[in-house]
Chain A
Amino acid sequence: MSKNNNDFVTIYVMGKKQKVPADLTIMKAMEYAGHQFIRGSGCRGGFCGACATVYRMRGSYKLQGALACQKQVEEGMIIAQIPFSPSEKITYKLNEIKANANTFLEYFPEIARCLSCNTCTKACPQDIMVMDYVQAALRGDIKLAAKLSFDCLGCGLCAMRCPAEIVPYNIGQLARRLESKYIEGPTEQVLSRCEEIKEGKYDKEIESLKNADKETLIKLYNSREMKNE
């Protein structure tokens, strides 16, 4: 990576030439250049996917995707933000869905159009195997689709690049909800503790803690047993 003028680089924010400190992320570089985000900035820590960005390097044909908060600027970067990706979120009642081999085709018939071109996977800033989970959904493999899509932030870059016009992140979302609700099912210890609480099993003990003075609480707290195995 070449740098000029004491660690500054030249980038092009939607075509406009800007000189910015070389160690900034795309997000901070745009702010340095005078932009105040309304769209396009979220958690600023790689957890929300609000800052999907596409860029090309000068002299390169290759269009690349990144999260603006997780990618450092480079000399000659031509940047555009994708503040919103138009897609319809199909609504459904989870309680009424049957989790079977045809579920995904029923709700997302367009997945049959998948060309297996792998463009979605290449576009993913989280390095998720997007095409593989779309294909798993197509085969009705809910478990695999849920597992492979788990780290998805829903930034929208895969959907913007898909030539078959599939919206992968909506498919991953349904896969994960089905996996938890119908394949794994509820956890026994949680259900039984809820019952105990409903029956008032801990009411008396909590009531006495609520009514205890500070001195008593301090004593109880400082002498409480630690059972972290």
Chain B
Amino acid sequence: MSDFKSGYPEYMQESLKKVSETRSSRFGKEFTPMTAEQRIQILEKFHPDWKPQMKRGLKIGPSKGMLIPHEVADIIESHSMIKHDEIDLTKIDYDLDVLIIGGGGAGLSAGILAKESGIPADKILLVQKLRLGDANSKMAQGGIQAADTSIDNPAIHYLDVIGGGHYANKPDLVEALVKDAPDVIKWHESLGVMYDKNPDGTMLEIAGGGTSRNRMHSCKDYTGLELTRVVLDEFINKEIGYTEFTSAVELLMDDKEQVAGAVLYDLETKEYHIARSKSTILATGGFGRLHIQGFATTNHYGATGDGIVMAYRTGAILRDLDSTQYHPTGAAFPEQIVGQLATEKLRGRGAQPVNKYGELFVYHLEPRDIESSSYIRECYERDNGIVTPTGMKAVWLDTPMIEKVNGSGTIEREFAAMFRNFNRWGIDIRKEPMLVFPTLHYQNGGVEINANTETNIAGLLCAGEVCGGVHGKNRLMGNSQLEIYVFGRRAGRAAAKRASKTNLGELNLNHVKRYDKWLEEAGIITERKSPIILPEYRGEKTLSHQLKIM
């Protein structure tokens, strides 16, 4: 140990020493979980969602009045980047049965299922504004839930989901989620996903925040990477059409009031293309790159909320967008990785959150909104956080405890990504804890769908993070990897079925014209245009965002 070099600055060493000294006395100990009343109190006082000044009521459209974060309202209350009369709708570049917008897990699985439901590969097109498969789907680390052990079942999973979501979830969607879950795992295994197993061949399953059983299936801490790359490989094997670095910028309607495809924009040639389609699936993911309330984010470069904007212009109903998920454990140090995800699986395997004195202050597996709120309280009300060199406050996540609980070698075996990504910056998480603070993680709400992924607008289907209703006001760990495959597959089937019995009328962009009128009538005078497609980080904007915590 003499050549051991701490990854942290000198001024943190005293606190680090306390964490190390208290480790043995914390071994096997758990902080008492909060009561229902305590949970409500801490949310109201500390969760970023509960600060009314950070939101405003939508002034236009079918979900008028819904309180949503200013950053989201800004992209919704914006003009289209196209003028409705400047696009030639008579020249059809792609004439399709199924158009899929977004190339993460939901979009890819929708494509595979559309093909398997009988749609020819050349009548399907997936458009992706970045590389195929580059999406939040790939970044998931911890796992995917499915109730498949002898002490568990889908009804228990249902109760965990709806309680974690504060009873605001749409029951039909929760039912679909929990009942399809084992079948999704079966499908993955049939495609060749390498899930982690116990020596006896059963699934290795761990706990997640707010789950009453161990039902998290994982692939080390590269779960999303493994699932996405296998499904992507299968998508390509099926020779389904796709185009990359091309973004949908507006949906198309026809004279029967159906969604009938999209206007596409090639980001490299800057040309517009028209895709006419009998079914259109939005699988565009969430809005983390809008940096709600100035929070750093775990999200992918492309997570700019494009889908909710395009859907809303056609008149689709939104729900639960008042609630945003802040993941408790975003990296807070070093500066280069601030905001990046430190998987919940770390806590699932025994890592404890502790304050600057090395003391436990919260049960380590509360649902995410509760857990996050308690870190904010520890740092800002109790002032028991550690201040980073850039002025952030943070708590320790005591990762060396994982090896104390599960034996040495556990971290390298089960947390290859975390071990590697922190090692790159000189921190050995087997020997030293991480510094963490809540980070913007997930769009809980979105476009309202039914269990067949249909929206209130004919021809428009949605799957994945762009949707609302599955998770209510708070998503549990492992349910987004599940959601994208449950509803991606359902969307592929439903889109194929619809395409076989749909005739399209004449294309138009009247809804874009109507939207401008809504803006005008609401007195919204703005130069803003959306979807924004890519976030703006040029120049000083790439530097750290200032948090408005208290």
Query: Which residues from chain A sit less than 8 Å from chain B, CB to CB?
Result: 21, 23-25, 28, 31-32, 34-39, 41-48, 50, 70-72, 89, 91-94, 126-127, 146, 150-151, 153-154, 173, 176-181, 184, 186-191, 193-194, 197, 202, 205-206, 209-210, 214, 217-218, 220-222, 224-229
Contact = CB atoms under 8 A, between A and B. Distances in A.
Given A39-B245, A50-B130, A189 B237 contact: no
Given A31-B542, A173-B229, 14 more contacts: A31-B537, A42-B130, A42-B138, A47-B141, A126-B420, A150-B219, A176-B226, A180-B194, A189-B148, A193-B182, A206-B179, A221-B162, A228-B207, A228-B213
25 contacts: A28-B336, A36-B537, A37-B534, A38-B245, A39-B131, A42-B131, A42-B134, A44-B340, A46-B420, A91-B239, A94-B237, A150-B219, A151-B222, A151-B417, A151-B420, A180-B193, A181-B190, A184-B201, A189-B150, A190-B185, A190-B203, A194-B183, A217-B159, A221-B163, A226-B212
Contact of B195 (A24, A48, A187): A187
B186 A191 contact: yes
A180 B194 CA distance: 5
Q: Interface extent on B, as a size class? A: 35 or more
Interface in B259-282: 267-268
A173 B190 contact: no
Nearest to B156: A224
B86 interface: no
B489 to A, nearest CB: 14
B33 to A, nearest CB: 8
B155 interface: yes
B146 A48 contact: no
Given A150-B222, A190-B186, A194-B183, A206 B416 contact: no
A45 B337 contact: yes
A46 B421 contact: yes
Interface in B148-178: 148-151, 153-156, 158-160, 162-163, 167, 171-172, 174-175, 178
B186 A186 contact: yes
A43 B537 contact: no
Contacts of A89: 233, 236
A228 B172 CA distance: 27
Contacts, number: 227
Contacts of B190: 181, 186
B189 A180 contact: yes
Nearest to B164: A221
Interface of B: 36, 130-131, 133-134, 136, 138-139, 141, 146-151, 153-156, 158-160, 162-163, 167, 171-172, 174-175, 178-179, 182-183, 185-186, 189-195, 197, 201-203, 207, 211-214, 219-220, 222, 224-226, 229-230, 233-234, 236-237, 239, 245, 267-268, 298, 300-301, 335-337, 340-341, 365, 416-417, 420-421, 424, 534, 536-543
Contacts of B158: 206, 209
B138 A48 contact: yes
Q: Closest 6 CB pairs between A and B?
A: A177-B192, A221-B163, A205-B155, A31-B542, A210-B171, A193-B148
Contacts of A150: 194, 219-220, 222, 226, 416
Nearest to A203: B179
Contacts of B131: 39, 42, 48, 50
Nearest to A169: B229
Contacts of B220: 150-151
B300 A44 contact: yes
Nearest to A45: B340
A191 B183 CA distance: 8
A1 to B, nearest CB: 13
Nearest to B153: A202
Contact of A206 (B154, B222, B300): B154
Contacts of B159: 209, 217, 220-221, 224
B192 A180 contact: yes
A224 to B, nearest CB: 5
A77 B139 CA distance: 28
B19 to A, nearest CB: 24
Given A37-B534, A50-B130, A209-B159, A94 B192 contact: yes
